[in-house]
Amino acid sequence: MHRTELVSALVYHPRSNGANGRVGAYSVATSTDGVTFAAPVATGTWRDDDTVKTATFTRAASARFVRLTATGEAGGRGPWSSAGEIRLSGPSSPAVHGSWGRITGFPLVPVATAALPGDKLLAWSAYAVDRFGGSNGYTQTAILDLKTGKVTQRRIDNTGHDMFCPGIAMLADGRVLVTGGSNAEKASIYDPATDAWSATTSMNIARGYQAMTLLSTGEAFVLGGSWSGSTGTDKAGEVWSPDTRTWRTLPGVPAAPALTADPAGPYRADNHMWLHATSGGKVLQLGPSKQMNWISTSGQGGITPAGTRADSQDAMTGNAVAYDIGKLLTLGGSPAYQDSPATRRAYTVGISGNQVQAARTGDMEHARAFSNSVVLPDGKVAVFGGQAYPVPFSDATSVLTPELWDPATGTFTPLATMAVPRNYHSVANLLPDGRIFSGGGGLCGDCATNHADGAIFTPPYLLNADGTPKPRPAITAGVPPRAAPGASLTVSTQGPVASFVLMRAAAATHSTDNDQRRVPVVSTAAGGGTYHVSVPADTGVVLPGTYMLFALDAQGVPSIGQFVTIS
């Protein structure tokens, strides 16, 4: 490279005019003088296809020379190797671009995930670990222990529920409600306190690919989902009560006003809606249809127009993230679920009472469909993966460079390159230590795009320019297991902090995470490293459920989050 640089990944483009010479097994090593090379910083095997490959290093290396060694040809056609192009990527500063940890293998493709107390991540696929189909009455699940890195697998039979392509809502008491999917009428609940699954009352309307959110009332709302269940019927809204464990229909909330103009009709047009719960049991449906709608869930329910999302078109396969109180960011998507170009556009949506205002913010560098977005404790939003042209079960046109949106500037900054494409059936979740899990993709049987793995991304706010961890504030006491809306917490910290924020524990599937919510909270210093932290009283602001309380220093560096259930 003619000078010493910090390098974190090598990108390999196979030849485009034939299969011969595609590199299969490989290793990558670095050197400062071109003579002495250190132990490999990356090893592995690339698939025998013509897609772009990435080798992400186990550690960022300060090097002048980088050597790619082909130790075997893909397909066993050797002995020869070729390359259409080789590129190096490496942020000049991890403090600007962040860094990736090692790839962690999973016993299944994590198509759906939920962050849990106790440093656990729940994941599941379908009746099989690598494929879906039918209504088999059981689901393959796994739990990642974030402290040890150990992943354990279990098949869930007792609920009679194949939970592939479901709706998900994090309940007020910290449990996880999963509805529909392959067994389209079923509903199941996971309790992290007992590590047990149980069945609850089935829905009135069978659904798959539906949208869900918890309401300010503590009930759970579901809408859409024509991917499975009966065809030709409107998948109107219904609400689950935690008190009666039953569903009540909302005939006043049909799905039709929220449909996109997908050429496949309701089968695709009512999938994965973006829902944001507000006060009084109301919900703003802000996408993926360009038409936004207010939804009332009291009585028979009702749905009324809330305007269009500025000049946005329908954006199926995009997503929305609540990055502040009454403020959301929508990212990417495409006019149809598949086989239509994705967009680079992003929009902000502001809520003030019953008024909704949408505006275009800065564009992403890359067009993305099937990407995942995560809001960070400092209010920035990271977006991972996706395709420029959405095709399920394909890694073509993959975007391997994540981006970070800053609400202060409305602009996106590139982040450290990903090692594995994350497209259809991928997920991303904020973790209690302020890092992000990104994983999954595929679930297509004997195909080349099954990604039964994940990696943890360390955002820039945790790193110095040389890649070492920044000093972090710490919460030492004062966070109870449970607190009521409107409560005042007396929180002790190690050293001074500038602010506190509540981050809702969230669940993701199919690029959609309606549970995400960042709630900045008012705090006052009480002396001696003690702060009075005020929990908002409005359950439309702080939805009931489990949150992570973060303290941030003056530079925006977060503490490790402390779990508290607001209910």
The pLDDT assigned to 56 comes to 77
Where are the CATH 2.130.10.80 domain residues in the chain?
A: 104-462
Q: What are phi and psi of 349, to 5 degrees?
A: -130, 120
Strand ranges in 332-410 using DSSP code E only, listed in sequence order: 346-352, 355-360, 372-375, 381-384, 403-406
The pLDDT assigned to 92 comes to 57
Where are the CATH 2.60.40.10 domain residues in the chain?
A: 474-566
Measured between alpha carbons, how far is 553 from 499 in angstroms, rounded to an integer?
7
Where are the CATH 2.60.120.260 domain residues in the chain?
A: 5-90
For the beta carbon of residue 412, count every other beta carbon within 10 angstroms.
24
The pLDDT assigned to 60 comes to 74
Q: Do 224 and 270 contact (CB within 8 A), yes or no?
A: yes
pTM for the whole structure: 0.88
Measured between alpha carbons, how far is 377 from 557 in angstroms, rounded to an integer?
9
3-state secondary structure of 258: helix
Which residues are 509's β-sheet partners? 112, 512
CATH number of 5-90: 2.60.120.260
Structure tokens at 326: 């009454």
- Quick one: 474-566 is in which CATH superfamily? Immunoglobulins (2.60.40.10)
Q: Do 286 and 315 contact (CB within 8 A), yes or no?
A: no
One-letter identity of residue 382? A
The pLDDT assigned to 17 comes to 85
Read off the DSSP letter of residue 128: S
Catalytic residues: 424
Number of continuous H segments (helices) and E segments (strands) in the chain: 2, 44
First to last CA, the chain: 56
Residues in the chain: 567
CATH number of 104-462: 2.130.10.80
3-state secondary structure of 280: helix
Per-position pLDDT tens, the chain of length 567: 988 888 888 888 888 788 999 999 999 999 999 999 999 998 989 888 877 787 878 777 889 999 999 999 999 887 889 998 888 876 657 888 898 887 888 999 999 999 999 999 999 999 999 999 999 999 999 999 999 999 999 999 999 999 999 999 999 999 999 999 999 999 999 999 999 999 999 999 999 999 999 999 999 999 999 999 988 899 999 999 999 999 999 999 999 999 999 999 999 999 999 999 999 999 999 999 999 999 999 999 999 999 999 999 999 999 999 999 999 999 999 999 999 999 999 999 999 999 999 999 999 999 999 999 999 999 999 999 999 999 999 999 999 899 999 999 999 999 988 878 999 999 999 999 999 999 999 999 988 899 999 999 999 999 998 788 999 999 999 999 999 999 999 999 998 999 999 999 999 999 999 999 999 999 999 998 999 999 999 999 999 999 999 999 999 999 999 999 999
